[in-house]
């Protein structure tokens, strides 16, 4: 496998952080998929080295699929509830730290960018989804499915940028 350097870490971290705001587990899953295909010596022997594992990437991807299903249940709490919001920020932070560390950049900057992007996207995507449902009267899980498609599409594009 050809090892390639991630070429746009700033934009990838902002994008992946935004995806964390939409689907919590999507950010670490996409990041781990990217890093398992574009491994970096900068992550070897660090606390973030697990993010380069194909097994971790595949496990996180399965967790994302289960999150997509859980999102459609009426009992699922809103993403802006404190616990959900915190996990989204942590997800963005992990993804940002991993990408920044892998590219030899400052891990703290990546952590903060990922978390901030996730925080902003959590509220923006919450407001957008509620507004679309209210104005269109389309059943919320259908709008959630469209949101899922956006996350998958954006994740594929971010992977291709790597």
Write down the pLDDT at residue 7: 67
Reported pTM: 0.90
For residue 3, being part of any structural domain is answered with no
Handedness of CA 142, 15, 17, 101 (dihedral sign): positive
Write down the pLDDT at residue 128: 96
Which three-class secondary structure state does DSSP give residue 141? Answer: helix
Distance CA 18, CA 21 (A): 5
Write down the pLDDT at residue 1: 35
pLDDT truncated to tens, each residue of the chain (162 aa)?
344 456 678 988 999 999 999 999 999 999 999 999 989 999 999 999 999 999 999 999 999 999 999 888 888 899 999 999 999 999 999 999 999 999 999 999 999 999 999 999 999 999 999 999 999 999 999 999 999 999 999 988 877 766
Write down the pLDDT at residue 8: 76
For residue 64, being part of any structural domain is answered with yes
Domain encompassing residue 74: 9-161
Q: Pick from 18, 12, 26, 28: which is nearest to 125 by CA? A: 18
Q: Looking at the 3D structure of the chain, how many domains does it have?
A: 1
Write down the pLDDT at residue 55: 98
Distance CA 113, CA 94 (A): 10
Which run of H or of E encompasses 95?
helix 82-102
Find where tokens 């902002």 sit.
14
For residue 4, being part of any structural domain is answered with no
Which run of H or of E encompasses 61?
helix 54-71
Distance CA 31, CA 51 (A): 7
Find where tokens 């389309």 sit.
138
């Amino acid at each position: 496998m050809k090892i390639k350097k991630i070429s746009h870490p700033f934009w990838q971290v902002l994008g992946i952080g935004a995806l964390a705001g939409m689907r919590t587990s999507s950010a670490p899953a996409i990041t781990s998929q990217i890093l398992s295909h574009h491994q970096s010596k900068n992550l070897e022997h660090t606390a973030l080295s697990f993010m380069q594992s194909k097994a971790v990437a595949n496990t996180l991807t399965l967790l994302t699929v289960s999150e997509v299903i859980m999102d459609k249940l009426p009992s699922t709490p809103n993403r802006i509830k404190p616990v959900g919001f915190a996990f989204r920020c942590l997800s963005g932070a992990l993804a940002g730290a991993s990408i920044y560390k892998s590219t030899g950049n400052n891990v703290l900057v990546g952590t903060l960018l990922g978390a901030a992007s996730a925080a902003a996207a959590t509220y923006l995507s919450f407001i957008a989804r509620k507004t679309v449902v209210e104005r269109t009267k389309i059943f919320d899980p259908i709008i959630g499915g469209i949101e899922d498609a956006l996350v998958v599409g954006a994740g594929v594009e971010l992977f291709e940028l790597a």
